[in-house]
Amino acid sequence: MTNTPAPESKIIELRQVQQRFHARGAAGGYLTAVDDATFDLTSEPPQVISLVGQSGSGKSTIARNILGLQKPTAGTITYNGQDIYRLSRAASDDYRRNVQPVFQDPYAIFNPFYRVDRVLQTAVKKFRLAKTPQDGLELIKESLEAVRLDPEQVLGRYPHQLSGGQRQRIMLARIHMLRPAFVIADEPVSMLDAQVRKAFLDILLDFQETYRMTTLFITHDLSTVHYLGGDVMVIHRGVIVERGKVSEVMTRPKHSYTAQLLASVPIPDPNRRWKDRINLAEVEAEEEEGAATVAPDPEQAGRLS
Ligand X SMILES: Nc1ncnc2c1ncn2[C@@H]1O[C@H](COP(=O)(O)OP(=O)(O)OP(=O)(O)O)[C@@H](O)[C@H]1O
Q: 40 with 46: CB under 8 angstroms?
A: no
219: contact with Mg ion by CB under 5 A:
no
How far apart are CB 22 and ligand X at their closest, in Å? 7
State the Cα angle at 229 between 286 and 243, rounded to 5°: 50
Select the span of 44-52, 60-68, 229-237, 259-267 touching Mg ion (CB under 5 A): 60-68
How far apart are CB 283 and ligand X at their closest, in Å? 14
Binding partner of residue 21 among ligand X, Mg ion, none, CB cut-off 5 to 8 Å per kind: ligand X
Q: Binding residues for ligand X, per CB under 6 A?
A: 21, 31, 33, 53, 55-61, 220, 294, 297, 300
Binding partner of residue 182 among Mg ion, ligand X, none, CB cut-off 5 to 8 Å per kind: none
Select the span of 53-61, 112-120, 278-286, 288-296 touching Mg ion (CB under 5 A): 53-61
User: How far apart, in Å, are the Cα atoms of 87 and each of 5, 184, 212, 236, 271?
Assistant: 17, 19, 24, 31, 56
Binding partner of residue 234 among Mg ion, ligand X, none, CB cut-off 5 to 8 Å per kind: none
Q: Among residues 212 and 243, whose Cβ is nearest to ligand X? A: 243
104: contact with Mg ion by CB under 5 A:
no
Which residue in the set 32, 50, 57, 60 belongs to the binding site for Mg ion (CB under 5 A)?
Answer: 60
d(CA 212, CA 171): 18
Binding partner of residue 253 among ligand X, Mg ion, none, CB cut-off 5 to 8 Å per kind: none
**Amino acid letter, 129:** L
Q: In what order do the strands lie in the sheet with 99-103?
A: 99-103, 182-186, 214-219, 48-52, 231-236, 239-245
Q: Among residues 186 and 231, whose Cβ is nearest to ligand X? A: 186
d(CA 144, CA 171): 10
161 CB contacts (<8 Å, ≥6 apart)?
none
Q: 11 with 40: CB under 8 angstroms?
A: yes
Select the span of 4-12, 35-43, 56-64, 106-114 touching Mg ion (CB under 5 A): 56-64
Binding partner of residue 208 among ligand X, Mg ion, none, CB cut-off 5 to 8 Å per kind: none
- How many of the other CB atoms lie within 10 Å of CB of 156? 12
User: What distance separates the 2 farthest-apart alpha carbons in the chain?
Assistant: 62
Q: DSSP state, 19?
A: E
Q: Which positions lie near Mg ion, rule CB under 5 A? A: 60
